[in-house]
Amino acid sequence: MILTQHYLACLSHASYLVGDETTGRAIVVDPRRDVEVYLGDAAAHGLSIERVIETHVHADFLSGHLELAARTGAVISYGDAAEVDFPIEPLRDGERLSLGEVILEVLATPGHTPESISVVVYEHSGDEVPYGVLTGDSLFVGDVGRPDLLASAGAGFSAETLARQLYRSLREKLLRLPDATRVFPAHGAGSACGKQLSSETSSTIGEQRRTNYALQPMTVEEFVAAVTEGQPVRPEYFAYDARRNRELHPLLDEHAAPPLLDLDEVLARHAAGAVLLDPREPAEFAAGHLRGAVNIGLQGRFAEWAGDVLSPDCDVVLVGEPDLAPEATVRLARVGFDVVVGQLADLPAVLAARPDLAEAGSRLTIEQLAELRGLEPGLQLIDVRNPGETASGILPGAREIPLATFTRWLAGLEQEDPVVVYCASGYRSQVAASLLRSTGFQDVSDLLGGYGAWAGAGLPVAHDAAGLESVPMPEVGPAAAKAQLDGGGVLLDVRETVEWAAGHAPGASALPMRLVHERRSELPRDRRILVICRTGGRSAAVTEALRGWGFDAANVAGGMRAWAAAGLGVVTGDGARGSVI
């Protein structure tokens, strides 16, 4: 027997080729749309693909059943509850298919969707213990398929109804398989089809019985609650893909490259409504890009994020490096966005020849953001992570707008006020920031390192709605700070080394903001710590963190600028007169 898992990391999607070496007959389960990988795999093993089985009508990608059927003449099969607009050979619960020695048994496992099935694979016709089971989106490693997608899409199925079906499918069908049965799901970690999928892409029934939270002993009511709460926001394109997967649609030519366009053609397309999409990495995009372009880095979850922020009805012109265009085009097609009408021929030449069309992105460090929060009372701070991520904390004052719903909330933001966007590490935030700039926002930045950099530096985070309000903290002016310093207090300067070297208050100790967390054990707990920076922003964040750790700390209002303006001393390391930079 041949059973090959084809895992597509950028969509967290697993598909399978199953073949019988004695007969050369094979099937493909849940294929992606660019199907050459299955044709090559089958040819390498001397197999002929005769059937394509879809475990359900997928919503997170456009499946390759039509492409494979066209290339091989294979029959397309779904569970018999599926409703599609093209010919299929439906599969019934309990039906067995023979490839020769290899036997496939169909299990109806509704719950994620009404038509969901799983495919049990027996290596030999007489085996009592199956080799494995292809579970689609019914059972994942560490999770089960979410039952709320159809409800959120307005398809007429409640999340509770589907969750109750899933409860029975898992316990009456899948958990009755022997513990040694291997589990091969359709998705892994990162997929929006569940909330806590493992990065492992296979398991066993026994292991899942022991470790999967949704398979533990519980009532159906407890199960419904467990699997419906805390799910990620449904990506915008899911309803579109679910509809297209039911329809006949044009086939993908995965080798076709978009035509090269000169600048005038690109600008004309843009003026007519096309999106300019730059698939380079965020750092490259920020260094210089074509004005009005949206950045979705190809090395991230490119297709999913494109589906979140782009319309499937809008033409796309690629304006990054031309060698990225073929891959970007295929990845967009994987989620059904057959919208690429061309690519800019030479971005570096355009940026050099037309500096009026060149633009750079603003990316802030956590230090710069801390300063900005103190200087800009109208700052709009946006967290684009999913609810499951923000449950661990957000930056104080941030507004939660997941990337999957970002385009719905643009009208609720003030174009005239500055915006800073952040995510977990700085990838999704660049997508959102570039989208804002492309729609007319002028002062937009994203946070380098995202929430991870901020929280990793020990800076304050909020955990509930009440925590979003500004928490009063002791704050003193420069003169009062000097008096407290003379009375035994400690002046802690949290600026960067270059700022400190240019000029600092006599007697101050230097400890850059991002190092305070790891070196807080060096700070005194029996003396007041007066925290100072350039203008009071960084020091405010550090003061709040120190007080949370039990220190007696106060912020020096106005920072070193106010200190110098008050005529207090500013010196360099050798005692010479210094300056505040």
Domain of 105, CATH number, reads: 3.60.15.10
- Which of the listed residues 359, 375, 404 is the one where a domain comes to its end? 359
Could you tell me the strand order of the sheet in which 260-261 lies? 260-261, 340-344, 316-318, 275-278, 294-295
User: Model's pTM, two decimal places?
Assistant: 0.89
Q: Is 238 among the domain residues? A: no
Q: Is 251 among the domain residues? A: no
What is the structure's pLDDT at 300?
Answer: 86
> Do residues 435 and 302 share a domain?
no
Q: Is 172 among the domain residues? A: yes
- For residue 513, give the 3-state DSSP assignment: helix
11 is in which domain, residue-wise?
A: 2-231
DSSP string, 324-357: GHHHHHHHHHHTT---EEEEES-HHHHHHH-GGG
Please count the other Cβ atoms lying within 10 Å of the Cβ belonging to residue 53. 27
User: CA 105, CA 87: separation in Å to the nearest integer?
Assistant: 22
Q: Is 575 among the domain residues? A: no
Q: Is 246 among the domain residues? A: no
> Do residues 214 and 88 share a domain?
yes
What is the structure's pLDDT at 469?
Answer: 44
Q: In 3D, which of 551, 402, 389 has the Cα closest to residue 463? A: 389
- Rounded to 5°, the CA angle 427-234-420 comes to 35
What is the structure's pLDDT at 244?
Answer: 96
> Do residues 49 and 113 share a domain?
yes
What is the structure's pLDDT at 467?
Answer: 45
Containing 224, the helix (H) or strand (E) segment is: helix 220-228
> Do residues 31 and 180 share a domain?
yes
The active-site residue out of 193, 314, 423, 533 is: 533
Instruction: Count how many domains the chain has.
Output: 4
Say which DSSP state 364 is in: E
> Do residues 484 and 463 share a domain?
no
> Do residues 34 and 182 share a domain?
yes
Q: Enumerate helices (H) and strands (E) in the chain, giving the number of each.
A: 20, 28
- Which of the listed residues 231, 251, 285 is the one where a domain comes to its end? 231
Q: Is 252 among the domain residues? A: no
> Do residues 489 and 443 share a domain?
no
Q: Is 249 among the domain residues? A: no
User: CA 401, CA 341: separation in Å to the nearest integer?
Assistant: 30
> Do residues 487 and 447 share a domain?
no
Which residue type does 263 have? L
User: CA 178, CA 167: separation in Å to the nearest integer?
Assistant: 18
> Do residues 417 and 453 share a domain?
yes
What residues form DSSP beta bridges with 318? 277, 343
| Residue 171 burial class via C-beta count within 10 angstroms: exposed 0-12, middle 13-18, buried 19 and up | middle
- Which of the listed residues 207, 231, 255 is the one where a domain comes to its end? 231
Q: Is 423 a catalytic residue?
A: no
CB 122 within 8 A of CB 1: no
User: CA 322, CA 247: separation in Å to the nearest integer?
Assistant: 32
What is the structure's pLDDT at 10?
Answer: 92
pLDDT values of the chain reduced to their tens digit, one per residue, 581 residues: 999 999 999 999 999 999 999 999 999 999 999 999 999 999 999 999 999 999 999 999 999 999 999 999 999 999 999 999 999 999 999 999 999 999 999 999 999 999 999 999 999 999 999 999 999 999 999 999 999 888 655 567 899 999 999 999 999 999 999 999 999 999 999 998 888 899 999 999 999 999 999 999 999 999 999 999 888 888 889 999 999 999 999 999 999 989 999 999 999 999 999 999 999 999 999 999 999 999 999 988 999 999 999 999 999 999 999 999 999 999 999 999 999 999 999 999 999 999 999 999 999 999 999 999 989 989 999 999 988 889 889 999 999 999 999 999 998 999 999 999 999 988 999 999 999 999 999 999 999 999 999 999 999 999 864 444 445 789 999 999 999 999 999 999 999 999 999 999 999 999 999 999 999 999 999 999 999 999 999 999 999 999 999 999 999 999 999 999 999 999 998 889 999 99
> Do residues 59 and 197 share a domain?
yes
CATH number of the domain bearing residue 383: 3.40.250.10
Q: Is 38 among the domain residues? A: yes
User: CA 158, CA 174: separation in Å to the nearest integer?
Assistant: 23
> Do residues 204 and 80 share a domain?
yes
User: CA 515, CA 370: separation in Å to the nearest integer?
Assistant: 14
> Do residues 269 and 167 share a domain?
no
